[in-house]
Amino acid sequence: MKGKEKLLRVIQHLLLIMMCIIAIFPIYWMIISSFKNESEIFTSSFIPLKPTLENYVYAFTEMPIVRMMFNSFVIAILMTSFQLISSILAGYALVRWKFKGSFLIYSLISLTWLIPFQAIMIPNYVLINQMGLNEQLLGVVLPFAVSVFAILSLYQSFQAFPVALIDAARLDGESDFGILVNVILPNIKSTVASLGILLFISGWNEYLWPMLITKKMENSPIQIGLRSFVNSDVNMWGSLMAATTISCLPILIIYLVLQRQVVDSFVRFGIK
């Protein structure tokens, strides 16, 4: 019995290790390819024998990488801030007050899950063009200024907040806005922070919309610049992998540093 159980354990770990390799090998391959020199890049060696930085140098000279990374940061940070502000206010209103139409508003917010972006992209594209925001970062950000996912997540957090604390603050003469800013938010800091991380990652990774809005490399986020590099027929795989590595570096660093929070936030907000 004991031996059989041990064997089962070993098999389980082997299975899991295999899954881990499947999960991270492509990333490993990306990173080592970016350090391989021209003669080594087409071989299957698993470690670069003569690591070189020339791929990175080439990538930086071929593409405005710094500019595109900057655009990506601006887009992701603006999206995250707009989404956090609008959802904090909306979630608070929905939980705090009983008012006419609250159920209708809640339903309208929830039902937007069903609207695929492809079903609204053309009217939005036309509108952005009419506003003259084509090729502008604001044009990329505006349609993503509200995240329904964020509203519903915060709605749940606000609902779990003890009413007694709100009452106490009210008796102390706090205004409604004061209650939100001075009582509730400091207590759910970590929830808001992990939601923020999540929104930042999805803003950073956004694809279809920035592709429609920004055509010139200097105006586009790194994802879209990378897309044209992937699609160009140059056989510069070393530099392409270098550029790809740079593009996901911020996300990987966030994940390494805040791994627990990232996973927790996906669990907390994904399931409830």
Partner 1 sequence: MSRLLEDDYQSPLTNETRVTKKVKRKGKRRKTFKPYLYLLPAILFLGVWMYKPLLSTFFLAFQKWSMVPGTIPEPVGLENFLRLFNTKDFPISIENTIFYTIGVLPFSIVIPLILATVTNDMNGKAKNVYRAIFFIPMILAPVTVSAIWRWLFHPTNGLVNNLLLKIGIIDDNIAFFSDPRFAKWLILFMTGWGLIGFSTIIFSAALTNINKDYYEAASLDGATNFNRFIDITLPLLSPTILFMLTMSILFSSQFTFAYIDILTQGGPFGSSTNIYYEMYKYGFSNLNVGLSSAAAMLFFFVFGIITLVLNYVSRKFAFYDN
Using rule CB under 8 A, residue 132 touches partner 1: no
Do 137 and 219 contact (CB within 8 A), yes or no?
yes
CA distance 47 to 39: 14
Which residues 6+ apart lie within 8 Å of 203 measured at CB? 75, 76, 77, 79, 80, 144
Per-residue interface string for the shown chain with partner 1, residues 153-172, x marking contact by CB under 8 A: ---x--x---x--xx--x--
Out of 176, 183, 185, 193, name the contact with partner 1 by CB under 8 A.
176
Residues 70-129 that bind partner 1 (CB under 8 A): 85-87, 89-90, 92-99, 102-103, 105-127, 129
Which residues 6+ apart lie within 8 Å of 66 measured at CB? 60
Using rule CB under 8 A, residue 22 touches partner 1: yes
- Structure tokens of 74? 């601006």
Using rule CB under 8 A, residue 67 touches partner 1: no
- Structure tokens of 39? 């003669």
The span from the first CA to the last CA of the chain, in angstroms, equals: 40
**Between 29 and 51, whose beta carbon lies closer to partner 1?**
29
Stretch that binds partner 1, among 26-34, 53-61, 132-140, 188-196 (CB under 8 A): 26-34
Establish how many alpha carbons lie within 13 A of residue 35's alpha carbon, considering only the half-sphere containing its beta carbon.
Answer: 11
CA triplet 78, 80, 84: central angle to 5 degrees? 120
**Between 57 and 103, whose beta carbon lies closer to partner 1?**
103
Least gap, CB of 107 to partner 1 (angstroms): 7
Least gap, CB of 171 to partner 1 (angstroms): 8
Do 78 and 137 contact (CB within 8 A), yes or no?
yes
**Between 65 and 262, whose beta carbon lies closer to partner 1?**
262
Establish how many alpha carbons lie within 13 A of residue 89's alpha carbon, considering only the half-sphere containing its beta carbon.
Answer: 6
**Between 172 and 218, whose beta carbon lies closer to partner 1?**
172
Q: How many other C-beta atoms are found inside a 10 Å radius of the C-beta of residue 76? A: 22
Using rule CB under 8 A, residue 204 touches partner 1: yes
Using rule CB under 8 A, residue 262 touches partner 1: yes
Counting beta carbons within 10 angstroms of the beta carbon of residue 221, is it exposed (0 to 12), middle (13 to 18) or buried (19 or more)? Answer: buried
Stretch that binds partner 1, among 50-58, 73-81, 184-192, 256-264 (CB under 8 A): 256-264
Using rule CB under 8 A, residue 47 touches partner 1: no
Stretch that binds partner 1, among 47-55, 63-71, 188-196, 249-257 (CB under 8 A): 249-257
Judged by CB under 8 A, how many residues of this single chain contact partner 1? 101
